[in-house]
Amino acid sequence: MNNNIKLSYPNSEKVYINGKIFPQLKVAMRKINLTPTVEIVDGKSIMTPNSPVYVYDTSGPYSDPNIKIDLKNGLPKLRKEWIEKRKGSINTQMYYAKRGIITPEMEYVAIRENMNCEDLGIETHITPQFVCEEIANGRAVIPANINHPESEPMIIGRNFLVKINTNIGNSATSSSIDEEVEKAVWSCKWGGDTIMDLSTGDNIHETREWILRNCPVPVGTVPMYQAFEKVDGKAEQLTWQIFRDTLIEQCEQGVDYFTIHCGIRLKNIHLAENRLTGMVSRGGSIISKWCITHNEESFLYSHFDDICDICAKYDVAISLGDGLRPGCTFDANDKAQFAELDTMGELIERAWDKNVQAFIEGPGHVPMNKIKENMDRQIEKCHNAPFYTLGPLVTDIAPGYDHITSAIGAAQIGWLGTAMLCYVTPKEHLALPDKDDVRTGVVTYKIAAHAADLAKGHPGAAIRDNALSKARYEFRWKDQFNLSLDPEKALEYYKTSNNIDGKYCTMCGPNFCAMRISHTLNEQDCLTK
Protein backbone atom coordinates (compact mmCIF):
# COMPACT_ATOMS: atom_id res chain seq x y z
CA MET A 1 0.00 0.00 0.00
CA ASN A 2 1.23 3.49 -0.90
CA ASN A 3 1.39 5.19 2.51
CA ASN A 4 1.96 8.70 1.14
CA ILE A 5 -0.92 9.37 -1.26
CA LYS A 6 -1.21 12.97 -2.50
CA LEU A 7 -3.86 14.50 -4.74
CA SER A 8 -3.46 17.52 -6.99
CA TYR A 9 -5.51 19.60 -9.41
CA PRO A 10 -4.11 21.77 -12.24
CA ASN A 11 -3.65 25.47 -11.45
CA SER A 12 -5.44 25.04 -8.12
CA GLU A 13 -4.47 25.62 -4.53
CA LYS A 14 -5.85 24.53 -1.19
CA VAL A 15 -7.19 27.47 0.79
CA TYR A 16 -8.87 27.79 4.17
CA ILE A 17 -11.54 30.19 5.39
CA ASN A 18 -11.73 30.91 9.11
CA GLY A 19 -14.90 30.80 11.16
CA LYS A 20 -16.45 33.81 12.88
CA ILE A 21 -18.29 32.14 15.74
CA PHE A 22 -15.40 29.69 16.10
CA PRO A 23 -12.31 31.55 14.80
CA GLN A 24 -10.19 28.42 15.09
CA LEU A 25 -12.15 26.78 12.27
CA LYS A 26 -10.28 26.32 9.00
CA VAL A 27 -12.77 25.38 6.30
CA ALA A 28 -11.07 23.89 3.27
CA MET A 29 -11.88 24.92 -0.29
CA ARG A 30 -10.14 24.70 -3.64
CA LYS A 31 -9.22 27.92 -5.43
CA ILE A 32 -8.88 27.62 -9.19
CA ASN A 33 -6.63 30.36 -10.54
CA LEU A 34 -7.48 31.63 -14.02
CA THR A 35 -5.43 33.17 -16.79
CA PRO A 36 -6.15 36.74 -17.93
CA THR A 37 -8.37 37.69 -20.84
CA VAL A 38 -6.24 38.95 -23.74
CA GLU A 39 -7.64 41.45 -26.24
CA ILE A 40 -5.91 43.13 -29.16
CA VAL A 41 -6.66 46.85 -29.18
CA ASP A 42 -4.94 49.06 -31.78
CA GLY A 43 -2.41 46.32 -32.34
CA LYS A 44 -1.57 46.01 -28.65
CA SER A 45 -2.34 43.14 -26.26
CA ILE A 46 -4.50 44.24 -23.34
CA MET A 47 -4.62 41.77 -20.44
CA THR A 48 -7.56 41.81 -18.01
CA PRO A 49 -7.31 39.56 -14.92
CA ASN A 50 -10.03 36.99 -14.24
CA SER A 51 -10.99 36.35 -10.64
CA PRO A 52 -10.24 32.90 -9.21
CA VAL A 53 -13.13 30.50 -8.67
CA TYR A 54 -13.67 28.82 -5.30
CA VAL A 55 -15.14 25.33 -5.39
CA TYR A 56 -16.35 22.81 -2.83
CA ASP A 57 -13.51 20.45 -1.95
CA THR A 58 -13.85 16.86 -0.72
CA SER A 59 -10.19 15.87 -1.06
CA GLY A 60 -9.32 16.53 2.59
CA PRO A 61 -5.65 16.69 3.63
CA TYR A 62 -4.66 14.66 0.56
CA SER A 63 -4.47 17.85 -1.54
CA ASP A 64 -2.73 20.01 1.07
CA PRO A 65 1.01 20.13 0.24
CA ASN A 66 1.79 21.13 3.84
CA ILE A 67 0.34 17.96 5.37
CA LYS A 68 2.23 14.70 5.20
CA ILE A 69 -0.02 11.69 4.74
CA ASP A 70 0.78 8.34 6.32
CA LEU A 71 -2.02 5.83 5.86
CA LYS A 72 -0.64 3.69 8.68
CA ASN A 73 -1.25 6.50 11.17
CA GLY A 74 -4.42 7.90 9.60
CA LEU A 75 -5.44 11.47 8.80
CA PRO A 76 -5.23 14.42 11.24
CA LYS A 77 -8.10 14.40 13.76
CA LEU A 78 -9.79 17.64 12.72
CA ARG A 79 -12.73 17.40 15.16
CA LYS A 80 -10.94 15.88 18.16
CA GLU A 81 -10.91 19.02 20.33
CA TRP A 82 -14.51 19.93 19.45
CA ILE A 83 -15.72 16.52 20.55
CA GLU A 84 -13.67 16.45 23.76
CA LYS A 85 -15.31 19.68 24.98
CA ARG A 86 -18.77 18.11 24.93
CA LYS A 87 -20.21 16.59 28.04
CA GLY A 88 -23.19 14.35 28.75
CA SER A 89 -24.47 11.07 27.37
CA ILE A 90 -26.19 12.67 24.35
CA ASN A 91 -23.96 14.56 21.94
CA THR A 92 -25.91 14.55 18.69
CA GLN A 93 -26.07 17.54 16.37
CA MET A 94 -29.87 17.36 16.62
CA TYR A 95 -29.72 17.52 20.42
CA TYR A 96 -27.75 20.77 20.27
CA ALA A 97 -29.79 22.17 17.39
CA LYS A 98 -33.09 21.71 19.25
CA ARG A 99 -31.61 23.83 22.03
CA GLY A 100 -30.46 26.54 19.64
CA ILE A 101 -26.79 25.73 20.21
CA ILE A 102 -24.59 26.25 17.15
CA THR A 103 -21.75 23.72 17.06
CA PRO A 104 -18.43 24.07 15.21
CA GLU A 105 -19.75 21.52 12.72
CA MET A 106 -22.73 23.77 11.95
CA GLU A 107 -20.62 26.84 11.25
CA TYR A 108 -18.17 24.71 9.26
CA VAL A 109 -20.84 23.44 6.86
CA ALA A 110 -22.39 26.91 6.49
CA ILE A 111 -19.05 28.33 5.34
CA ARG A 112 -18.41 25.30 3.15
CA GLU A 113 -21.79 25.44 1.41
CA ASN A 114 -21.37 29.09 0.42
CA MET A 115 -18.09 28.53 -1.45
CA ASN A 116 -16.94 32.10 -0.72
CA CYS A 117 -19.94 33.56 -2.58
CA GLU A 118 -20.44 36.27 0.07
CA ASP A 119 -17.12 37.85 -0.88
CA LEU A 120 -18.44 38.02 -4.45
CA GLY A 121 -21.52 39.93 -3.32
CA ILE A 122 -23.89 36.99 -3.82
CA GLU A 123 -26.69 36.80 -1.28
CA THR A 124 -27.03 33.55 0.63
CA HIS A 125 -29.56 32.16 3.06
CA ILE A 126 -27.10 29.61 4.42
CA THR A 127 -25.90 30.84 7.81
CA PRO A 128 -24.89 28.86 10.92
CA GLN A 129 -28.29 29.75 12.40
CA PHE A 130 -30.08 28.43 9.31
CA VAL A 131 -28.09 25.19 9.50
CA CYS A 132 -29.03 24.85 13.17
CA GLU A 133 -32.74 25.32 12.39
CA GLU A 134 -32.71 22.81 9.52
CA ILE A 135 -31.14 20.13 11.74
CA ALA A 136 -33.50 20.88 14.63
CA ASN A 137 -36.48 20.38 12.33
CA GLY A 138 -35.11 17.16 10.82
CA ARG A 139 -34.73 18.65 7.34
CA ALA A 140 -30.96 18.14 7.30
CA VAL A 141 -28.29 15.95 8.88
CA ILE A 142 -24.57 16.27 9.59
CA PRO A 143 -23.27 12.68 9.72
CA ALA A 144 -20.40 12.94 12.20
CA ASN A 145 -19.71 10.05 14.58
CA ILE A 146 -17.73 11.21 17.61
CA ASN A 147 -15.29 8.38 16.84
CA HIS A 148 -14.55 9.62 13.32
CA PRO A 149 -12.78 12.90 14.11
CA GLU A 150 -10.87 12.69 10.83
CA SER A 151 -13.98 13.63 8.84
CA GLU A 152 -14.65 17.16 7.61
CA PRO A 153 -18.25 18.18 8.44
CA MET A 154 -20.76 18.16 5.58
CA ILE A 155 -24.53 18.50 5.47
CA ILE A 156 -27.29 16.57 3.70
CA GLY A 157 -30.57 18.41 3.15
CA ARG A 158 -32.79 19.66 0.35
CA ASN A 159 -31.92 23.32 1.05
CA PHE A 160 -28.21 22.70 0.57
CA LEU A 161 -25.96 21.50 -2.25
CA VAL A 162 -27.05 18.12 -3.60
CA LYS A 163 -24.53 15.56 -2.35
CA ILE A 164 -23.38 12.27 -3.85
CA ASN A 165 -22.42 9.00 -2.20
CA THR A 166 -19.89 6.50 -3.51
CA ASN A 167 -20.33 2.78 -2.82
CA ILE A 168 -17.13 0.81 -2.39
CA GLY A 169 -16.29 -2.43 -0.60
CA ASN A 170 -15.00 -5.91 -1.31
CA SER A 171 -16.95 -9.04 -2.12
CA ALA A 172 -16.34 -12.71 -1.42
CA THR A 173 -14.71 -13.06 -4.84
CA SER A 174 -12.74 -9.88 -5.47
CA SER A 175 -10.82 -6.84 -4.16
CA SER A 176 -8.37 -6.24 -1.29
CA ILE A 177 -8.02 -3.73 1.56
CA ASP A 178 -5.45 -1.76 -0.47
CA GLU A 179 -7.82 -1.47 -3.41
CA GLU A 180 -10.73 -0.30 -1.26
CA VAL A 181 -8.67 2.39 0.51
CA GLU A 182 -7.43 3.55 -2.88
CA LYS A 183 -11.02 3.69 -4.17
CA ALA A 184 -12.03 5.75 -1.12
CA VAL A 185 -9.28 8.32 -1.71
CA TRP A 186 -10.02 8.31 -5.44
CA SER A 187 -13.69 9.05 -4.72
CA CYS A 188 -12.68 12.01 -2.55
CA LYS A 189 -10.53 13.39 -5.36
CA TRP A 190 -13.36 13.46 -7.86
CA GLY A 191 -15.97 14.87 -5.49
CA GLY A 192 -17.62 12.05 -3.55
CA ASP A 193 -19.31 13.61 -0.50
CA THR A 194 -19.74 10.38 1.47
CA ILE A 195 -18.60 6.80 1.11
CA MET A 196 -20.44 3.60 1.92
CA ASP A 197 -18.31 0.57 2.69
CA LEU A 198 -20.47 -2.33 1.53
CA SER A 199 -17.85 -5.03 2.05
CA THR A 200 -19.22 -8.56 2.18
CA GLY A 201 -16.00 -10.55 1.79
CA ASP A 202 -13.05 -11.27 4.06
CA ASN A 203 -11.65 -8.83 6.64
CA ILE A 204 -14.77 -6.66 6.88
CA HIS A 205 -13.71 -5.08 10.19
CA GLU A 206 -10.12 -4.44 9.12
CA THR A 207 -11.15 -3.01 5.74
CA ARG A 208 -13.55 -0.62 7.45
CA GLU A 209 -10.90 0.46 9.97
CA TRP A 210 -8.41 1.38 7.25
CA ILE A 211 -11.07 3.32 5.35
CA LEU A 212 -12.31 5.23 8.43
CA ARG A 213 -8.88 6.28 9.63
CA ASN A 214 -7.99 7.61 6.20
CA CYS A 215 -11.28 9.10 5.05
CA PRO A 216 -12.02 12.87 5.24
CA VAL A 217 -15.70 12.35 4.36
CA PRO A 218 -18.47 10.56 6.30
CA VAL A 219 -18.51 6.77 6.01
CA GLY A 220 -21.69 4.71 5.99
CA THR A 221 -22.29 0.97 6.19
CA VAL A 222 -25.05 -1.62 6.14
CA PRO A 223 -24.45 -3.39 9.50
CA MET A 224 -26.63 -6.30 8.43
CA TYR A 225 -23.91 -7.45 6.03
CA GLN A 226 -21.42 -8.08 8.82
CA ALA A 227 -24.08 -9.59 11.08
CA PHE A 228 -25.02 -11.91 8.21
CA GLU A 229 -21.40 -13.04 7.89
CA LYS A 230 -21.32 -13.83 11.62
CA VAL A 231 -24.05 -16.45 11.10
CA ASP A 232 -22.36 -17.85 7.98
CA GLY A 233 -24.95 -16.42 5.65
CA LYS A 234 -27.94 -18.12 7.30
CA ALA A 235 -30.63 -15.48 7.70
CA GLU A 236 -32.78 -17.58 10.02
CA GLN A 237 -29.96 -17.68 12.60
CA LEU A 238 -29.76 -13.91 12.97
CA THR A 239 -30.75 -12.45 16.34
CA TRP A 240 -31.21 -9.01 17.80
CA GLN A 241 -28.21 -9.60 20.06
CA ILE A 242 -25.92 -10.39 17.11
CA PHE A 243 -27.13 -7.31 15.24
CA ARG A 244 -26.86 -5.13 18.34
CA ASP A 245 -23.26 -6.20 18.97
CA THR A 246 -22.40 -5.49 15.34
CA LEU A 247 -23.99 -2.06 15.58
CA ILE A 248 -21.98 -1.14 18.67
CA GLU A 249 -18.77 -2.49 17.13
CA GLN A 250 -19.21 -0.22 14.11
CA CYS A 251 -20.22 2.77 16.26
CA GLU A 252 -17.02 2.34 18.26
CA GLN A 253 -14.99 2.27 15.04
CA GLY A 254 -16.48 5.55 13.84
CA VAL A 255 -19.09 4.77 11.19
CA ASP A 256 -21.06 7.98 10.56
CA TYR A 257 -24.34 6.57 9.28
CA PHE A 258 -26.06 3.21 9.04
CA THR A 259 -28.41 1.94 6.38
CA ILE A 260 -30.88 -0.18 8.34
CA HIS A 261 -33.95 -1.75 6.74
CA CYS A 262 -36.29 -1.09 9.65
CA GLY A 263 -39.26 -0.27 7.45
CA ILE A 264 -40.01 -3.83 6.36
CA ARG A 265 -43.08 -5.10 8.19
CA LEU A 266 -44.18 -8.74 8.23
CA LYS A 267 -47.61 -7.72 6.96
CA ASN A 268 -46.16 -5.99 3.86
CA ILE A 269 -43.67 -8.56 2.56
CA HIS A 270 -46.32 -10.36 0.48
CA LEU A 271 -46.89 -7.18 -1.51
CA ALA A 272 -43.68 -7.91 -3.44
CA GLU A 273 -44.77 -11.41 -4.51
CA ASN A 274 -46.10 -10.48 -7.96
CA ARG A 275 -43.27 -8.18 -8.93
CA LEU A 276 -41.32 -8.66 -12.12
CA THR A 277 -38.00 -8.62 -10.23
CA GLY A 278 -39.04 -9.39 -6.65
CA MET A 279 -36.73 -7.94 -3.98
CA VAL A 280 -33.43 -6.42 -5.06
CA SER A 281 -32.16 -5.10 -1.72
CA ARG A 282 -29.62 -7.41 -0.10
CA GLY A 283 -30.43 -6.20 3.41
CA GLY A 284 -34.14 -6.18 2.67
CA SER A 285 -34.17 -9.72 1.35
CA ILE A 286 -32.18 -11.00 4.34
CA ILE A 287 -34.51 -9.53 6.95
CA SER A 288 -37.59 -10.55 4.94
CA LYS A 289 -36.40 -14.15 4.93
CA TRP A 290 -35.91 -13.95 8.70
CA CYS A 291 -39.45 -12.60 9.19
CA ILE A 292 -41.04 -15.31 7.06
CA THR A 293 -38.97 -18.11 8.63
CA HIS A 294 -39.89 -17.08 12.17
CA ASN A 295 -43.31 -15.61 11.31
CA GLU A 296 -42.38 -12.60 13.44
CA GLU A 297 -42.03 -8.88 13.07
CA SER A 298 -38.50 -7.88 12.10
CA PHE A 299 -36.22 -7.30 15.10
CA LEU A 300 -35.02 -4.18 13.28
CA TYR A 301 -38.52 -2.76 13.57
CA SER A 302 -39.37 -4.08 17.03
CA HIS A 303 -36.02 -2.87 18.45
CA PHE A 304 -35.95 0.44 16.59
CA ASP A 305 -35.97 2.48 19.81
CA ASP A 306 -32.96 0.48 21.05
CA ILE A 307 -31.19 1.16 17.75
CA CYS A 308 -31.84 4.88 18.23
CA ASP A 309 -30.47 4.79 21.79
CA ILE A 310 -27.23 3.25 20.52
CA CYS A 311 -26.88 5.74 17.66
CA ALA A 312 -27.61 8.71 19.94
CA LYS A 313 -24.63 7.83 22.13
CA TYR A 314 -22.21 8.18 19.20
CA ASP A 315 -24.13 10.66 17.00
CA VAL A 316 -24.52 8.12 14.22
CA ALA A 317 -27.19 9.06 11.68
CA ILE A 318 -29.71 6.46 10.54
CA SER A 319 -30.41 6.04 6.85
CA LEU A 320 -33.74 4.22 6.74
CA GLY A 321 -33.08 1.67 4.01
CA ASP A 322 -35.65 0.88 1.34
CA GLY A 323 -35.63 -2.91 1.39
CA LEU A 324 -38.70 -3.05 -0.84
CA ARG A 325 -37.43 -0.64 -3.49
CA PRO A 326 -38.30 -1.50 -7.10
CA GLY A 327 -35.65 -3.34 -9.10
CA CYS A 328 -37.08 -2.41 -12.48
CA THR A 329 -39.22 0.36 -13.92
CA PHE A 330 -42.19 -2.03 -14.21
CA ASP A 331 -42.31 -2.38 -10.40
CA ALA A 332 -41.92 1.34 -9.63
CA ASN A 333 -44.34 3.05 -7.24
CA ASP A 334 -46.12 -0.17 -6.32
CA LYS A 335 -47.88 -1.03 -3.07
CA ALA A 336 -44.82 -2.72 -1.55
CA GLN A 337 -42.58 0.30 -2.11
CA PHE A 338 -45.05 2.81 -0.73
CA ALA A 339 -46.10 0.66 2.24
CA GLU A 340 -42.48 0.65 3.38
CA LEU A 341 -42.16 4.40 2.76
CA ASP A 342 -45.18 5.02 4.98
CA THR A 343 -43.55 2.98 7.76
CA MET A 344 -40.38 5.04 7.37
CA GLY A 345 -42.45 8.15 8.04
CA GLU A 346 -43.44 6.68 11.41
CA LEU A 347 -39.87 5.67 12.24
CA ILE A 348 -38.30 9.01 11.35
CA GLU A 349 -40.38 10.75 14.02
CA ARG A 350 -39.35 8.15 16.59
CA ALA A 351 -35.70 8.80 15.73
CA TRP A 352 -36.17 12.55 16.13
CA ASP A 353 -37.82 12.03 19.52
CA LYS A 354 -34.52 10.50 20.63
CA ASN A 355 -32.43 13.30 19.05
CA VAL A 356 -31.11 10.97 16.37
CA GLN A 357 -30.43 12.41 12.93
CA ALA A 358 -32.08 10.37 10.19
CA PHE A 359 -32.84 10.36 6.49
CA ILE A 360 -34.83 8.26 4.03
CA GLU A 361 -33.55 6.03 1.24
CA GLY A 362 -35.39 5.80 -2.06
CA PRO A 363 -35.32 3.95 -5.38
CA GLY A 364 -33.96 2.57 -7.56
CA HIS A 365 -35.66 2.10 -10.93
CA VAL A 366 -38.36 4.67 -11.77
CA PRO A 367 -39.51 5.90 -15.21
CA MET A 368 -39.39 9.66 -15.62
CA ASN A 369 -43.15 10.11 -15.46
CA LYS A 370 -43.24 8.57 -11.96
CA ILE A 371 -40.30 10.42 -10.37
CA LYS A 372 -42.29 13.40 -9.10
CA GLU A 373 -44.82 11.11 -7.41
CA ASN A 374 -41.93 9.52 -5.47
CA MET A 375 -40.62 12.86 -4.28
CA ASP A 376 -44.03 14.25 -3.39
CA ARG A 377 -45.01 11.17 -1.39
CA GLN A 378 -41.68 11.12 0.46
CA ILE A 379 -42.08 14.76 1.48
CA GLU A 380 -45.65 14.17 2.64
CA LYS A 381 -45.18 10.89 4.50
CA CYS A 382 -41.67 11.49 5.86
CA HIS A 383 -42.13 15.04 7.10
CA ASN A 384 -39.46 16.72 4.94
CA ALA A 385 -36.67 14.42 6.12
CA PRO A 386 -33.74 14.33 3.65
CA PHE A 387 -34.23 11.90 0.75
CA TYR A 388 -31.32 9.76 -0.51
CA THR A 389 -31.86 7.91 -3.79
CA LEU A 390 -30.03 5.39 -5.96
CA GLY A 391 -30.46 7.18 -9.25
CA PRO A 392 -33.19 6.41 -10.09
CA LEU A 393 -32.56 4.53 -13.33
CA VAL A 394 -35.16 5.63 -15.85
CA THR A 395 -34.82 2.65 -18.19
CA ASP A 396 -33.62 -0.95 -17.83
CA ILE A 397 -32.17 -1.61 -21.29
CA ALA A 398 -28.63 -0.26 -20.89
CA PRO A 399 -26.30 -2.61 -18.96
CA GLY A 400 -22.83 -1.09 -19.20
CA TYR A 401 -24.33 2.40 -19.38
CA ASP A 402 -26.39 2.50 -16.20
CA HIS A 403 -24.36 5.44 -14.91
CA ILE A 404 -26.12 7.39 -17.68
CA THR A 405 -29.62 5.91 -17.29
CA SER A 406 -29.47 6.65 -13.57
CA ALA A 407 -27.94 10.14 -13.86
CA ILE A 408 -30.94 11.20 -15.95
CA GLY A 409 -33.26 10.31 -13.09
CA ALA A 410 -30.82 11.62 -10.47
CA ALA A 411 -30.73 15.11 -11.97
CA GLN A 412 -34.52 15.23 -12.07
CA ILE A 413 -35.15 13.99 -8.54
CA GLY A 414 -32.32 16.19 -7.23
CA TRP A 415 -34.04 19.21 -8.74
CA LEU A 416 -37.32 18.13 -7.13
CA GLY A 417 -35.76 17.94 -3.67
CA THR A 418 -33.63 14.84 -3.12
CA ALA A 419 -30.72 15.73 -0.84
CA MET A 420 -28.19 13.02 -1.73
CA LEU A 421 -27.71 10.79 -4.76
CA CYS A 422 -26.04 7.40 -4.60
CA TYR A 423 -23.77 7.04 -7.59
CA VAL A 424 -24.00 4.27 -10.15
CA THR A 425 -21.03 3.04 -12.17
CA PRO A 426 -20.92 1.54 -15.68
CA LYS A 427 -20.56 -1.88 -14.03
CA GLU A 428 -23.87 -1.69 -12.12
CA HIS A 429 -25.66 -5.07 -12.33
CA LEU A 430 -22.55 -6.57 -13.96
CA ALA A 431 -19.44 -6.57 -11.74
CA LEU A 432 -17.60 -4.99 -8.79
CA PRO A 433 -16.39 -1.52 -9.88
CA ASP A 434 -12.68 -0.79 -10.02
CA LYS A 435 -10.87 2.51 -9.54
CA ASP A 436 -11.64 3.82 -13.03
CA ASP A 437 -15.32 2.91 -12.66
CA VAL A 438 -15.42 4.88 -9.40
CA ARG A 439 -14.06 7.93 -11.22
CA THR A 440 -16.65 7.61 -13.99
CA GLY A 441 -19.49 7.11 -11.52
CA VAL A 442 -18.50 10.03 -9.29
CA VAL A 443 -18.00 12.52 -12.13
CA THR A 444 -21.26 11.44 -13.77
CA TYR A 445 -23.13 12.03 -10.53
CA LYS A 446 -21.39 15.34 -9.85
CA ILE A 447 -22.84 16.43 -13.18
CA ALA A 448 -26.34 15.34 -12.11
CA ALA A 449 -26.02 16.97 -8.67
CA HIS A 450 -24.67 20.23 -10.08
CA ALA A 451 -27.42 20.36 -12.70
CA ALA A 452 -29.93 20.05 -9.86
CA ASP A 453 -28.17 22.81 -7.87
CA LEU A 454 -28.40 25.14 -10.87
CA ALA A 455 -32.10 24.39 -11.28
CA LYS A 456 -32.69 24.96 -7.56
CA GLY A 457 -30.87 28.30 -7.66
CA HIS A 458 -28.35 27.40 -4.97
CA PRO A 459 -26.28 30.48 -4.01
CA GLY A 460 -23.19 30.68 -6.19
CA ALA A 461 -23.91 27.47 -8.12
CA ALA A 462 -23.61 29.22 -11.49
CA ILE A 463 -20.24 30.88 -10.80
CA ARG A 464 -18.22 27.96 -12.12
CA ASP A 465 -20.46 27.52 -15.20
CA ASN A 466 -20.20 31.20 -16.08
CA ALA A 467 -16.43 31.23 -15.62
CA LEU A 468 -16.01 28.19 -17.86
CA SER A 469 -18.34 29.62 -20.52
CA LYS A 470 -16.37 32.88 -20.55
CA ALA A 471 -13.12 30.93 -20.88
CA ARG A 472 -14.61 28.92 -23.75
CA TYR A 473 -15.67 32.06 -25.61
CA GLU A 474 -12.22 33.58 -25.15
CA PHE A 475 -10.41 30.38 -26.17
CA ARG A 476 -8.69 30.15 -22.80
CA TRP A 477 -8.35 26.39 -23.15
CA LYS A 478 -6.39 25.74 -19.96
CA ASP A 479 -9.01 27.53 -17.88
CA GLN A 480 -11.73 25.46 -19.54
CA PHE A 481 -9.95 22.28 -18.54
CA ASN A 482 -9.15 23.44 -15.02
CA LEU A 483 -12.71 24.56 -14.29
CA SER A 484 -14.21 21.28 -15.45
CA LEU A 485 -15.21 18.41 -13.17
CA ASP A 486 -12.54 16.20 -14.75
CA PRO A 487 -9.68 18.41 -16.00
CA GLU A 488 -7.51 15.44 -16.91
CA LYS A 489 -10.13 13.90 -19.18
CA ALA A 490 -10.92 17.22 -20.90
CA LEU A 491 -7.24 17.86 -21.61
CA GLU A 492 -6.70 14.29 -22.78
CA TYR A 493 -9.50 14.56 -25.36
CA TYR A 494 -8.42 17.99 -26.53
CA LYS A 495 -4.79 17.03 -27.06
CA THR A 496 -5.68 14.15 -29.36
CA SER A 497 -6.11 16.54 -32.29
CA ASN A 498 -5.71 20.17 -31.25
CA ASN A 499 -3.07 22.80 -30.71
CA ILE A 500 -3.28 23.88 -27.06
CA ASP A 501 -3.24 27.59 -28.03
CA GLY A 502 -5.52 27.41 -31.06
CA LYS A 503 -8.51 29.70 -31.61
CA TYR A 504 -10.72 26.79 -32.63
CA CYS A 505 -11.02 23.04 -32.12
CA THR A 506 -11.27 20.22 -34.64
CA MET A 507 -15.01 19.92 -34.04
CA CYS A 508 -15.60 22.93 -36.34
CA GLY A 509 -12.20 23.94 -37.68
CA PRO A 510 -11.14 27.57 -38.26
CA ASN A 511 -13.80 28.51 -40.81
CA PHE A 512 -16.89 27.10 -39.10
CA CYS A 513 -16.14 28.06 -35.48
CA ALA A 514 -19.16 30.15 -34.42
CA MET A 515 -17.34 31.77 -31.50
CA ARG A 516 -14.41 32.72 -33.73
CA ILE A 517 -16.85 34.35 -36.17
CA SER A 518 -18.62 36.07 -33.26
CA HIS A 519 -15.31 37.56 -32.13
CA THR A 520 -14.76 38.93 -35.63
CA LEU A 521 -18.19 40.54 -35.58
CA ASN A 522 -17.45 42.09 -32.19
CA GLU A 523 -14.16 43.49 -33.42
CA GLN A 524 -16.01 45.07 -36.33
CA ASP A 525 -18.72 46.45 -33.98
CA CYS A 526 -21.34 44.56 -35.99
CA LEU A 527 -23.16 43.30 -32.89
CA THR A 528 -23.64 46.76 -31.40
CA LYS A 529 -25.19 48.36 -34.46
Q: What is the pLDDT of residues 323-375, one digit of tens each?
A: 999 999 999 999 999 999 999 999 999 999 999 999 999 999 999 999 999 99
Q: How confident is the model at residue 133 (pLDDT cuts 50, 70, 90)?
A: very high
Pairing of strands 12-18, 37-41: unpaired
Question: Does residue 116 or residue 3 have the better pLDDT?
Answer: 116
153-456: in CATH 3.20.20.540: yes
Assess contact for 351 and 318: CB atoms under 8 A.
yes
pLDDT in tens, 189-203: 999 999 999 988 878
Amino acid 498: pLDDT? 64
> Residue range 12-32: average pLDDT?
98
Identify the CA nearest to 207 among candidates 218, 216, 196, 217: 196
* H helix runs in 215-360, sequence order: 223-230, 240-253, 282-294, 299-302, 304-314, 335-353
Amino acid 453: pLDDT? 98
> Is the pLDDT assigned to residue 527 strictly greater than 60?
no
Assess contact for 54 and 31: CB atoms under 8 A.
yes
Amino acid 355: pLDDT? 98
> Is the pLDDT assigned to residue 516 strictly greater than 70?
no
Question: Does residue 126 or residue 523 have the better pLDDT?
Answer: 126
Amino acid 376: pLDDT? 97
Q: How confident is the model at residue 423 (pLDDT cuts 50, 70, 90)?
A: very high
pLDDT in tens, 83-120: 999 988 788 999 999 999 999 999 999 999 999 988 88
Amino acid 412: pLDDT? 99
Rounded Cα distance between 359 and 270, Å, is 25
Rounded Cα distance between 15 and 38, Å, is 27
Q: What is the torsional sign of CA 212, 217, 222, 225?
A: negative
Centroid of chain to Cα 231: 31
Assess contact for 71 and 335: CB atoms under 8 A.
no
> Is the pLDDT assigned to residue 322 strictly greater than 80?
yes
Question: Does residue 279 or residue 45 have the better pLDDT?
Answer: 279
Amino acid 42: pLDDT? 80
CB atoms within 10 A of CB 525: 8
Rounded Cα distance between 338 and 322, Å, is 10
Amino acid type, 378: Q
Amino acid 519: pLDDT? 66
pTM for the full model?
Answer: 0.95
> Residue range 429-438: average pLDDT?
91
Coil, helix or strand at residue 335:
helix
pLDDT in tens, 377-422: 999 999 999 999 999 999 999 999 999 999 999 999 999 999 999 9
Q: Where are the domains of the chain?
A: 12-135, 153-456, 498-529
> Is the pLDDT assigned to residue 454 strictly greater than 70?
yes
